[in-house]
Amino acid sequence: MSTSTTNIESVLNEQRVFPPPAEFSARAHIKSMEEYERLREEAEREPEKFWARMAEEIHWFRRWDKVLDWQPPHARWFVGATTNISYNCLDRHLSTERRTKTALLWEGEPGETRAFTYEELHREVCRFANVLKKLGVARGDRVALYMPLIPELAIAMLACSRIGATHSVVFGGFSAAALVDRINDAGCRAVVTADGGYRRGTEVKLKAAVDEALRETPTVESCVVVRRTGSQVEMKEGRDQWWHELVETVGADCPAEELDSEHPLFILYTSGTTGKPKGILHTTGGYLLWAHLTTKWVFDLKDEDVYWCTADIGWVTGHSYVVYGPLSNGATSIMYEGAPNHPAPDRFWSIVERHKVSIFYTAPTAIRAFIKWGDEHPRRHDLSSLRLLGTVGEPINPEAWMWYREVIGKGRCPVVDTWWQTETGGIMISPLPGATPTKPGSATKPLPGVAADILTRDGEPVAANLGGFLVIRRPFPSMLRTIWGDDERYRQTYFGEIEGVYFAGDGARRDRDGYFWIMGRVDDVINVSGHRLGTMEIESALVSHPAVAEAAVVGRPDELKGQGIFAFVTLEGTREPSDELKEQLRGHVAREIGALARPDEIRFSDALPKTRSGKIMRRLLRELAASGAVKGDVTTLEDFSVIEKLRAQEEE
Ligand code: PRX
């Protein structure tokens, strides 16, 4: 990581405070700051006892011998215990009134709906688990899921976890090339996909991408295809089979396997500072506990709620807060397949009104888009069913927070700004809606059990209101266990930066009330629409084009997406810059990684600004991309004329 500063400047000064509405607190799981403090102190004083008490909320087949085995940087939680997350999400509810309650309520982009009660979902999961077994997938095998946001994706995840297969969900917006890397890194044995899915009225052809990918993935033996759009696809004899045909060939009886608490549950790839994505590994017991508890605490979930997290399941938010957290709590979880502005910019509000959504969780980038599209869209709908609003994925600017509270929540609904990461598996810093007074733009305080802190690069405490590095001092149950296949990278990335603590990669400050204000990434990772992209990954994609000699990618502020992608490119000697080449390169990156990574702007340059030791000075490029000028220290720059030339282009 290229974090060189000791202190980070913070300029935000927000004074507004909103206490939770009294009637909300009266009914909340955690009703006051006193109650929050009691839990927090209990966790500080005797962490293992605290976690053991919390773990009573989960169904275990066998109890643990030891709560935590911590051999830094490796933790094992609930050592010796066995459980199953699919059992906790399904079977557990079948002996209660929830048996006939709606578990998943799905709406496709074209408008059709499908609902599954807990009993029905259980049956579908058991059947698909039997299909996987029939295909030879066994405990410990990896299965790639490359699917649209349809119920079968949740079913496939729960079927994998039921039999102890480790799922690796690959976001349907990623390209065939990105899928190849992820399948090969994890050595997946099977792939589950669909003919296609819908996004903004057009079909995303997933099976075609899978066909391309599977030419280069020697470990894949079988591919199951859901018929979603009905479009023509090729089915390769001996490898590809239809989901609907396979489930007809098996029974609906499939007991959940008793799995070790540390059994690998899923791998999810996320961007890091090098070109290769990191396979974040989560295991069973600790992840389940935290997904369950945080859903209950942060969303204050009750049996009568209709809960909607708008995230795609291709990201961690969808894993923890569309599937595992809500279902383990017996909630009704809504899944919507498509775009927020299809067929019109009021689609989300129409869904809230029609399904009487009470808890709504989305991303700041979506909120900024809603603001831009205009208040008339939410105003056209009855949003009175809403009682709680949440955000995740990137810092939310106070004005967007206020708009969310006023226009969507009508000033009645608490807003929870939740900070966490793929690596943490669940929410770490967030208001408790019945307890915590909120401040627009602040994720407020760490949840009980989360030892979050802000330190200097040297591990020293930072005074109030000064920026520093956000760390977690103690292991927590849902912490990633390693990077798949690269434990050394795990050690270095998360525990090699600041002595003895987990370093998250974010800068933050804490105000005098102990509230955390997240200031964004301090490494070479940019956050586009709430999704992490490594600048190195995009650079590698650019350099893989024959015309490109060298590339440097930086983020620059973007009103809608949070950060936009700005690429500086040096061409091979014989190639001439042109607008056509720019377009080619943008398309090339989209094909290599996915449309999400397509650069917003490309600037050609004879050379890139470097230090004498040859390191690209990204700070200068960032400044240039953001403001068109360079004001900071340039004394380490080898050739100053490079910046002059780049700036001259700006003025052209
Ligand atoms: O920089 C932080 C930002 O998103 C990063 C994690 O990205 P990812 O692993 O893709 O997970 C996103 C969903 C959990 C963090 O390192 N981030 C996430 N939530 C917030 C945030 N930044 C500020 N405020 C948040 N609430």
CA atoms within 13 A on the CB side of 482: 14
> Would the CB of 319 count as within 6 Å of ligand 1?
no
Confidence of residue 609 (pLDDT cuts 50, 70, 90): confident
Give tens-digit pLDDT for 155-207.
Answer: 999 999 999 999 999 999 999 999 999 999 999 999 999 999 999 999 999 99
Please state the φ and ψ torsions of residue 53, each to the nearest 5 degrees.
-65, -45
Closest-CA residue, ligand 1 atom 6, reads 421
393 lines ligand 1 (CB under 6 A): yes
531 CA: nearest ligand 1 atom: 10
pLDDT band at 66 (very low <50, low <70, confident <90, very high): very high
Can you tell me the mean pLDDT for 497-507?
93
Of all protein residues, the one whose alpha carbon is nearest to atom 18 of ligand 1 is: 393
344 CA from centroid of ligand 1 (Å) = 28
Average pLDDT over residues 307-314: 98
Alpha-carbon separation of residue 488 from 268, 332, 450, 484, 610 (angstroms): 18, 41, 25, 10, 29
Atom of ligand 1 nearest to the CA of 443: 26
Q: Which amino acid is at 243?
A: W
**b/e map of 397-406 (b: 16 or more CB within 10 Å)?**
bbebbbbbbe
pLDDT of residue 155: 99
Interval between CA 525 and ligand 1 midpoint (Å): 11
266 has pLDDT over 50: yes
Distance 504 CA to ligand 1 centre (A): 10
How far away, in angstroms, is 545 Cα from ligand 1 center? 31
**CA angle 387–392–397, rounded 5-degree value:** 90
Does the Cβ of 422 fall within 6 Å of ligand 1? yes
- Going by C-alpha positions, the residue among 270, 178, 261 that lies closest to residue 483 is 270
**Is ligand 1 within 6 A of the CB of residue 444?**
no
Ligand 1 pocket residue status of 505, Cβ below 6 Å:
yes
The ligand 1 atom at the shortest distance from the C-alpha of residue 396 is 24
CA of 602 to the centre of ligand 1 (A): 26
CA of 382 to the centre of ligand 1 (A): 31
Handedness of CA 351, 353, 359, 362 (dihedral sign): positive
Instruction: Write the residue with the smallest CA distance to atom 21 of ligand 1.
Output: 394
Sign of the dihedral defined by the CA atoms of residues 407, 400, 149, 309, in that order: negative
Whose structure tokens read 């807990």?
118
Q: Is 523 in the pocket of ligand 1 (CB under 6 A)?
A: no
Residue 649 has what pLDDT?
65
Assess whether pLDDT exceeds 50 at residue 397: yes
From 266, 518, 531, mutation site for ligand 1 pocket: most ligand atoms within 8 A of C-beta: 518
**Residue 363 C-alpha to ligand 1 middle, in angstroms?**
10
318 vs 336: CA distance, rounded Å: 11
Alpha helices by DSSP H, 55-166: 85-86, 92-94, 118-134, 151-163
* pLDDT value of position 385: 98
Token pair, residue 333, equals: 């979880």
For a mutational test of ligand 1's pocket, the pick from 392, 396, 522, 531, i.e. the residue with the most ligand atoms closer than 8 A to its C-beta, is 392
| Cβ–Cβ under 8 Å, residues 605 and 642 | yes
User: Which residue of 424, 527, 563 sits with most ligand 1 atoms within 8 Å of its CB, as the best mutation to test the pocket?
Assistant: 527
Mean pLDDT, the chain, integer: 94
What count of residues does the chain have? 652
Q: For the purposes of burial, counting CB atoms within 10 Å of the CB of 251, is it exposed (0-12), middle (13-18) or buried (19 or more)?
A: exposed
pLDDT in tens, 329-366: 999 999 999 999 999 999 999 999 999 999 999 999 99
Instruction: Extract the tokens encoding 210.
Output: 């899978």
Q: CA-CA distances (angstroms) from residue 417 to 109, 288, 352?
A: 27, 22, 20
Q: How far apart, in Å, are the Cα atoms of 186 and each of 24, 213, 437, 498?
A: 45, 14, 43, 29
Res 642: pLDDT? 77
Is the pLDDT confidence value at 636 over 90? no
Please identify which residue in the block is written with the tokens 């305080």: 445
Is the Cβ atom of 481 under 6 angstroms away from ligand 1? no
Give the lowest-confidence range in 274-278, 339-343, 347-351, 554-558: 274-278
The residue-averaged pLDDT of 105-133 equals 98
Confidence grade of residue 576 (pLDDT, cut at 50, 70, 90): very high
Distance CA 242, CA 196 (A): 13
Q: Residue 569 — pLDDT band, cuts 50, 70, 90?
A: very high
Give, as one character, the DSSP assignment of residue 590. Answer: H
Instruction: Tell me which of 612 and 428 has the higher pLDDT.
Output: 428
Q: What is the pLDDT confidence band of residue 522, given thresholds at 50, 70 and 90?
A: confident
Domains of the chain: 22-84+269-521 (3.40.50.12780), 117-257 (3.40.50.980), 545-651 (3.30.300.30)
Residue 298 in contact with ligand 1 by CB distance below 6 A: no
Q: Give 504's pLDDT tier (boundaries 50, 70, 90).
A: confident
Question: Given a cut of 70, is residue 652 above it in pLDDT?
Answer: no
Q: pLDDT of 463-472, one tens digit each?
A: 999 999 999 9
| Among the listed residues 449, 455, 447, the one whose alpha carbon sits nearest the alpha carbon of residue 501 | 455
Please identify, by atom number, the ligand 1 atom nearest to the C-alpha of residue 504: 16
**pLDDT reading at 3 higher than 60:** no
Task: Tell me, using a 6 A CB cutoff, whether residue 527 lines ligand 1.
Answer: yes
Ligand 1 in contact with 328 (CB < 6 A)?
no
Dist CA 532 CA 526 (whole Å) = 6
Query: What pLDDT does 648 receive?
Result: 67
Q: What is the pTM of this model?
A: 0.93
The yes-or-no verdict on residue 138 having pLDDT over 90 is yes
Query: CA–CA separation, 443 vs 433, rounded Å?
Result: 12
CA–CA distance, 515 with 269 (Å, rounded to integer): 30
Q: For residue 309, what pLDDT band results from cuts at 50, 70 and 90?
A: very high
Distance 581 CA to ligand 1 centre (A): 34
Please report the atom of ligand 1 found closest to the CA of residue 423: 9
- Which burial class, exposed, middle or buried, applies to 22 when counting CB atoms under 10 A from its CB (0-12, 13-18, 19+)? exposed
Does the beta carbon of 392 sit less than 6 angstroms from any atom of ligand 1?
Answer: yes
Query: What pLDDT score does 328 carry?
Result: 98
Confidence of residue 610 (pLDDT cuts 50, 70, 90): confident
Residue in this structure with the two tokens 């990574």, named with its chain if needed? 597
Residue 651 pLDDT exceeds 60: no
What is the model's pLDDT at position 650? 58
Closest ligand 1 atom number to CA of residue 315? 10
Which residues face 555 on adjacent strands?
Answer: 565
Number of Cβ within 10 Å of residue 614's Cβ equals 7
Report whether pLDDT(447) > 80: yes
Confidence class of residue 611 from pLDDT cuts 50, 70 and 90? confident
Q: Which atom of ligand 1 is nearest to the CA of 532?
A: 10
* Rounded distance between C-alpha atoms, residue 439 and residue 416, angstroms: 10
- Percent of the chain residues past pLDDT 70, beyond the cut: 96
Mean pLDDT of 286-313: 98
What whole-number distance in Å separates Cα of residue 39 and Cα of residue 36? 5
End-to-end CA distance of the chain: 34
pLDDT of residue 5: 39
